[in-house]
Amino acid sequence: MNDIKIENKNKRGQTGFLIFIIVGIIIAFIFAIVVIPVAYMGDEIFNQLKQPQNFGSDNETVAQINIVQGFMTGAFDQLVFFTLFAVFLGLIVLAVFTDFHPIVLIFLIVVIILLVIVGGLLANVFGEVSNTPILSAKASEFHMTNLVMGSQLPILIAVMGAIAIIIMLAKRGRATSPV
């Protein structure tokens, strides 16, 4: 007779999904922690470059340094925001295109709960770094980063995790992916 052999091609995708979430949040957190001191040091370097003994004797050079200096904080702020946004978008895409066994979904719920707890700890660490006396003025210029990496980070992780779980539960028993 015709025996149909069904393979589970996505065994690797099940663990990759969880690793993606953890690594993505850690990378976004590292960007958030690193960009504030880098932006502060960049301002210090730009201020030294504007001194008359360095390049500050030419008005056009000072104007160009000011343009780059003004652009740098906004660019770093957007880098952190879009990195976290890309992680959440990747989470939703993986939820749509990956098939999961219900046991893995239970494990995913546990991982999301643990990530909410870790997100709270990361938000506290970010708050400590941004409230240090030497970096507090520069950290206040990072509007989007302060919004997503502050006390709202655990809430964002919980909401995006819940959306991903709802997507995965909604497609159980039907086609596994649109592709």
Domain annotation covers residue 8: no
pTM given for the model: 0.71
- Confidence (pLDDT) at 147: 84
Placement of tokens 């990361």 in the chain: 122
- Confidence (pLDDT) at 59: 74
Three-state secondary-structure class, residue 172: coil
Which residue range(s) make up the domain with 79? 15-170
- Confidence (pLDDT) at 7: 47
- Confidence (pLDDT) at 174: 56
Task: Please name the helix (run of DSSP H) or strand (run of DSSP E) that holds residue 140, with its range, or none.
Answer: none
Give the residue ranges of the chain where pLDDT is below 70: 1-18, 54-58, 172-179
Three-state secondary-structure class, residue 148: helix
Domain annotation covers residue 55: yes
Domain annotation covers residue 178: no
Domain annotation covers residue 9: no
Domain annotation covers residue 177: no
Domain annotation covers residue 4: no
Domain count for the chain? 1
Cα gap 5→93, rounded to integer Å: 28
Domain annotation covers residue 89: yes
Domain annotation covers residue 111: yes
